[in-house]
Chain A
Amino acid sequence: MAEALDTNVSPAGGVAGGVPHSGGRGAPEHMGEPAATGPAADTEVMTINIGPHHPATHGVLRLVVDLEGEVVRDLRPVIGYVHTGIEKSCEDKSYWKVIPFVERMDYVSYFFQMEAFCGAVERLVGLEIPPRAKYLRTIFLELNRIHSHLVWLGTTALDLGAISMLWYCFRERDKILDLFEMATGQRMHTRYFQVGGVIEDIPRGFEAKLREFVADMPVRVGQYQDLLDRNEVFLSRTKGTGVVSRERLLELGVTGPLLRAAGEPWDLRKAFDYLAYPEMDFKVPVGTIGDNYDRYRVRVAEMVESVRIVEQALDGLPEGPFIAEDRKYVLPPRSELSTSMESLIHHFKLVTEGYRVEAGEVYYAIESPRGELGCFVLADGSSKPARVHFRDPSFVNLQAFKDMSVDGYVADMICSLGMLDPILGGVDR
């Protein structure tokens, strides 16, 4: 940083009293003069390419950056390197087979993709999910939010030089993955949510293990804050960098922690009524000026709030079925297959053809760790969706990256990119 500050390029910096002197930094007046080769090297705009395979881009993101010295003058994100046509592939799958596909878009917040899609289909077919399923989904969504923020905190702090943060964050992340594995059988891409509820109830012993985690996690978050909040390097790299005004962020459609860091208390969990969130008591952390430090503080505070939600949902977890009873859309219990002919027929129909959904369209949006995750499903009356579209928050938020980075140092650009937290699997889909 000291070096970067030393070579501060300001347009008037090199001109003392209108007389260019040889040692001065480049001024626009003598940019074209061949004699001033030394200064011209600084002021010349140089286009460089960062990525797509660069550790600091957190995925397969390519940046074409115009640099003037060390100052970013223009920036263009080039995306699409991991486009796999998931939305198109979904049109060829029956509704229940779409779920594992959409999970693989944003591979860090897979529960949210499932919830967005399952919720949209439930609204299409008019299926009410039982209270226990709502609470279970809330628990897993919030665990996933902590998991996603831990991945973000570990990798972003790593970019900023705090290497030990990665190990601490991934230690806690592993505990969450253990919980996922215990309840769903998979550590990632669990396919746990079903249209109508969740695939199976939580196993015995899960609650005790989850309570252990819930008791442990706030302490751990405090430790992260102790490591970073007064860390001189971290502070000087995050404070005052990457600032975008609240109005501009709203124009650009930015949602989630980025918007809240700029002081806008907008959270879909509070605004809309879905799952068990109306019954939960939690705060929406907001920042003040919207620099990278605020973004960090908001996300860390959100982890604590998520822990509170998990704890409340666990306390209030209602008894009862974990998936809806409607046999037209929900697989019958395995035990019934050997005793009930009707169940066998339902099972066969659901597994082979799938259920048909009356023509219509639904847009359902939830608050993912990165902002508004919307799912648009168009049904044409067949057993396959005619269109599945995800409004991915990373994709939309990436538009704000230019505003964050232009006229700042290239080092701050890397910091802003980490704080933007794009998941390229979600951007490219």
Chain B
Amino acid sequence: MPDAPGLELIRGEIEQDHPGAVLDTSFDRDQPALVVDPAQIIAVLTWLRDAPGQGYGFLSSLHAADYLPAEPRFAVHYELLNRDRVERLRVKAMLVDPAAAVAGSGGSAGGAAAPFSTPPIPRQPQSDLAELPVIDSCVELFPTAEFQEREVFDFFGIVFRGHPDLTRILLPEDYVGWPQRRDFPIGGEPVTFTYNERQYG
């Protein structure tokens, strides 16, 4: 792992080539992380992969997380690995929820007052992708991301611009909603097989 000063060095070098790309760094529990401007995510990942002396050429994992009360709310995590130096580096791209921004400007009282109480079930139709957060796809950079980006889209409703086949992967294709979001309640899934119910009440 790059240590804390090493992480700052990486940040400084990225700043030279891509000013403003790195928003923040964190070194928590011995795990270094770069918080990156989502608009420049591909530039940063390409730099980390190809720049001499970096060589983070293996994408171990791509996943997302929902930091609900915080803003920006979503994050896409890229767990990069340099296999020669055996170093891991996490790159995070924080994404604002466009739907919340629209709701907040419409009625700021409702949006700010109750972030947690009685969350409405987000049942937006799937075709309405305009209200979803968007980030560039890194499939061309790391082909391994193809399934993982589809999984993130499936569960968080984060759109990867430029993905060859951005469809649901684990959930049924007609599923409505983004179940791994923190405001999506657990339970309450309608039972699809109702034979016994109809037969025996």
Q: Which residues of A contact B (CB under 8 A)?
A: 79-80, 83, 85, 87-89, 91-92, 123-124, 126, 250-254, 266, 271-272, 360-363, 365, 372, 374, 376, 378, 380, 386-387, 389, 391, 395-396, 398-399, 428-429
Inside 8 A of B168's CB, which chain A residues have their CB? 80
**Complex interface: stretch among B58-66, B99-107, B192-200:** B58-66
With A85-B179, A362-B31 as given contacts, are A374 and B172 in contact (CB-CB < 8 Å)? no
Contact of A80 among B79, B142, B171 (CB under 8 A): B171
Inside 8 A of A250's CB, which chain B residues have their CB? 57-58
Contact of B29 among A251, A360, A395, A428 (CB under 8 A): A360
- A363 with B61: CB separation less than 8 A: yes
- B61 with A374: CB separation less than 8 A: yes
Contact of B179 among A88, A252, A378 (CB under 8 A): A88
- A124 with B29: CB separation less than 8 A: yes
B163 proximal to A (CB < 8 A): no
B143 proximal to A (CB < 8 A): yes
- A399 with B60: CB separation less than 8 A: no
- B143 with A399: CB separation less than 8 A: yes
Using CB atoms, name the residue of chain A closest to B186.
A92
B130 proximal to A (CB < 8 A): no
With A80-B172, A363-B31, A396-B144 as given contacts, are A386 and B79 in contact (CB-CB < 8 Å)? no
Using CB atoms, name the residue of chain B closest to A120.
B29
We find that the number of chain B residues with CB closer than 8 angstroms to chain A is 38
Inside 8 A of A378's CB, which chain B residues have their CB? 65, 67
Complex Cα gap A92–B180 (Å): 12
Complex Cα gap A362–B28 (Å): 8
**Complex interface: stretch among B15-23, B83-91, B117-125:** B83-91
Q: Which of B98-152 contact A (CB under 8 A)?
A: 142-148, 151
Q: Which residues of B contact A (CB under 8 A)?
A: 28-31, 57-61, 63, 65-67, 77, 79, 83, 86, 88, 90, 142-148, 151, 155, 168-172, 179-180, 182, 184, 186
Using CB atoms, name the residue of chain A closest to B63.
A389
Inside 8 A of B57's CB, which chain A residues have their CB? 250
Inside 8 A of B143's CB, which chain A residues have their CB? 251-253, 399
- Give, as a whole number of angstroms, the nearest-CB distance from A268 to chain B: 9
- B65 with A361: CB separation less than 8 A: yes
- B28 with A429: CB separation less than 8 A: no
- A253 with B59: CB separation less than 8 A: yes
With A362-B31, A363-B79, A372-B60 as given contacts, are A399 and B65 in contact (CB-CB < 8 Å)? no
Inside 8 A of A372's CB, which chain B residues have their CB? 60
With A253-B60, A376-B77 as given contacts, are A360 and B182 in contact (CB-CB < 8 Å)? no
Complex Cα gap A215–B66 (Å): 50
With A251-B142, A251-B143, A252-B144 as given contacts, are A363 and B186 in contact (CB-CB < 8 Å)? no
New contact pairs (5) apart from A83-B170, A124-B29, A374-B60, CB-CB < 8 Å: A89-B186, A92-B186, A253-B58, A389-B61, A395-B147
Complex Cα gap A252–B58 (Å): 9
Inside 8 A of A252's CB, which chain B residues have their CB? 143-144
- B29 with A79: CB separation less than 8 A: no
- B29 with A88: CB separation less than 8 A: no
14 contacts between A and B (CB under 8 A): A80-B172, A88-B179, A251-B143, A253-B143, A253-B144, A361-B65, A363-B60, A374-B61, A376-B61, A386-B182, A389-B65, A391-B60, A396-B144, A398-B147
Contact of A429 among B66, B67, B77, B170 (CB under 8 A): B170
Using CB atoms, name the residue of chain B closest to A249.
B144
Complex Cα gap A376–B131 (Å): 27
Complex Cα gap A80–B155 (Å): 12
- Give, as a whole number of angstroms, the nearest-CB distance from A373 to chain B: 10
Which 10 A-B residue pairs are closest in the complex by CB-CB distance?
A253-B144, A391-B61, A80-B170, A83-B170, A389-B63, A387-B65, A251-B143, A271-B86, A92-B186, A374-B61
Inside 8 A of B86's CB, which chain A residues have their CB? 271-272
- Give, as a whole number of angstroms, the nearest-CB distance from A149 to chain B: 23
Complex Cα gap A361–B59 (Å): 18
Using CB atoms, name the residue of chain A closest to B172.
A80
> Which one of A123, A363, A391, A428 has the highest number of Cβ atoms from chain B below 10 Å of its Cβ?
A363
- B60 with A365: CB separation less than 8 A: yes
Inside 8 A of A362's CB, which chain B residues have their CB? 29, 31
Complex Cα gap A137–B28 (Å): 26
Contact of B169 among A79, A253, A365 (CB under 8 A): A79
Using CB atoms, name the residue of chain A closest to B141.
A251
Using CB atoms, name the residue of chain B closest to A124.
B29
Complex Cα gap A83–B63 (Å): 17
- B147 with A391: CB separation less than 8 A: no
- B179 with A123: CB separation less than 8 A: no
Contact of B88 among A89, A363, A428, A429 (CB under 8 A): A363
Inside 8 A of A365's CB, which chain B residues have their CB? 60-61
Inside 8 A of B60's CB, which chain A residues have their CB? 253, 363, 365, 372, 374, 391
Inside 8 A of A91's CB, which chain B residues have their CB? 182, 186
Inside 8 A of A360's CB, which chain B residues have their CB? 28-29
Using CB atoms, name the residue of chain A closest to B57.
A250
